[in-house]
């Protein structure tokens, strides 16, 4: 699995509950995050480099725990060439099931919102839905800086929730895996009537189905991180209680994706 940074831990912890014996390798590109303000072709290049490194571990399943990378792959038509779960597709399915009145909010990075992937796929699943999309560029840097519990985070979430309240959304997709780490602020801003959709649970359920009958592993976590290992380890523990069995420095920029895994 991979993400630009700490966000994917919201997916990892849910996956771990569903798959306690799985050996998981998590690639985190903290040296080049945030992805949400970058052009999609550049995000695609970065994500493909992480996939190239993850291939060395011979994965049974690839989890794209980065909404912006999902958007980049959808825009270009890139296919990883191995069994894959994409967090955006999981979020779309969960939101389509969660809404009662068909008024769905999506909050995600600027690049993901700009790509239109959530609105397009939600309308395919629920053709009569009304989708309100909000880009939230302040949130990923706040989580990565360790400021998820601060007033600055609460204020930023409140700012981004205003158009979702104005649109009377009854379900809101947390369309970036960093955002569930701010769930309490979203709950406070949107109120109990709005269902918060975290794609991680749908992803974990799908992963459990995909790996049913697989040989159990040792339940280990290996993290490959391109930025400061100590900072990642400290914040991962503070945020999610996660302690990797192995934490390795990785230079994803040196990786070259194999040519046969390319665009359709």
**Sheet of strand 62-64, all strands in order from the earlier edge strand to the far edge:** 84-86, 62-64, 2-3, 24-28, 221-225, 246-249
| Spatial CB neighbours of 219, under 8 Å, sequence gap ≥ 6 | 16, 20, 21, 22, 23
The token pair at 100 is: 């009662």
Contact 144, 76 (CB under 8 A): no
Structure tokens at 235: 């914040």
Phi, psi of 3 (to 5 degrees): -155, 170
Query: What residues are annotated to the active site?
Result: 66, 176
């Amino acid at each position: 699995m991979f993400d630009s940074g700490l966000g994917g831990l919201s997916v990892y912890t849910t996956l771990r509950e569903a798959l306690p014996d799985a050996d998981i390798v998590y690639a985190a590109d903290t040296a080049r995050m945030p992805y949400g303000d970058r052009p999609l072709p550049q995000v695609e290049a970065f994500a493909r480099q992480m996939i190239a490194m993850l291939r060395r571990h011979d994965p049974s399943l690839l989890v794209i725990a980065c909404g912006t990378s999902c958007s980049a792959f959808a825009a270009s038509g890139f296919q990883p060439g191995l069994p894959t779960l994409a967090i955006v597709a999981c979020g779309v399915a969960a939101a389509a099931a969660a809404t009662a009145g068909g008024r769905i909010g999506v909050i995600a990075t600027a690049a993901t919102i700009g790509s239109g992937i959530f609105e397009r796929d939600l309308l395919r699943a629920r053709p009569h839905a009304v989708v309100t999309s909000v880009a939230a560029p302040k949130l990923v840097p706040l989580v990565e800086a360790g400021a998820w519990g601060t007033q600055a985070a609460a204020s930023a979430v409140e700012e981004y929730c205003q158009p979702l309240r104005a649109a009377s959304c009854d379900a809101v997709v947390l369309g970036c895996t960093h955002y569930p780490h701010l769930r309490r602020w979203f709950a406070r801003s949107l109120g109990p009537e709005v269902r918060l959709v975290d794609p991680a649970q749908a992803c974990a359920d799908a992963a459990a189905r995909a790996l049913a009958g697989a040989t159990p592993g040792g339940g280990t976590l290996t993290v490959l991180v391109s930025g400061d290992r100590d900072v990642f380890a400290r914040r991962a523990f503070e945020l999610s209680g996660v302690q990797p069995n192995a934490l390795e420095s990785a230079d994803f920029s040196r990786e070259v994706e194999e040519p046969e895994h390319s665009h359709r």
